[in-house]
Amino acid sequence: MRPRDGLRVEALTVAFRGAGHPVIRGVSFEIAPGEAFGLVGESGSGKSLTCRAILRLLPRGAVGGGRVTYDARSLLELGDAQMQALRGSTIAMIFQDPMTALNPVLRVGDAIAQVIRSHEGLGARAARTRALEMMERVGIRDAARRAAAYPHEFSGGMRQRIHIAMALAARPTLLLADEPTTALDVIVQ
């Protein structure tokens, strides 16, 4: 088995119709397997857009140039179905805003179990067990009871923990985190 290749972003450019100029221009970096990497910049400098571009979560045509490869695959050239299969299982993201990252009509335990079932093919019972384990790993006490609650029943910090559990649930090999501790209590951070 060959070793995994890391993430390589080369000359990434993002532009939106009507913006007049690129909002991200020529961003390049590499992340080796197992390496922690921080993309630092002022608010509005394009850090979140860069993550969304890597995952192809921007409108069609927004990525105006560059290359994004992970594990020897060109992410910008993959078909939609192939990219969808990678999201969550191989590459996951913790979004900055836990208020909008969770489905409001799904109980949180079901939401985490759904990620596990869709990416790992586990049965309902095994996925539920693992969802409870993930909730406990991120510091949610009484996970069996709390799993039956809806996102609006949690504080912002607890929602962020649930979102982190969801991102880690399918054991991705690359985790993109957009200010993952913003909503957490200072003691937890």
Instruction: Show pLDDT as tens, one digit a residue, over the chain (189 residues).
Output: 445 689 999 999 999 887 778 999 999 999 999 899 998 888 888 899 999 999 999 998 898 899 999 998 999 999 999 999 899 889 999 988 777 889 999 999 999 999 999 988 899 999 999 999 999 999 999 999 999 999 999 998 899 999 999 999 999 999 998 877 665 555 454
Q: Give the residue extent of every domain in the chain.
A: 7-84, 98-177
Closest by CA to 93, choosing from 5, 7, 185, 187, is 7
Q: Which residues pair with residue 94 across a beta bridge?
A: 177
> Rounded to two decimals, what is the model's pTM?
0.84
110-137 b/e with 16+ CB inside 10 Å = b?
bbbbbbbbebeebeeeebbebbbebbee
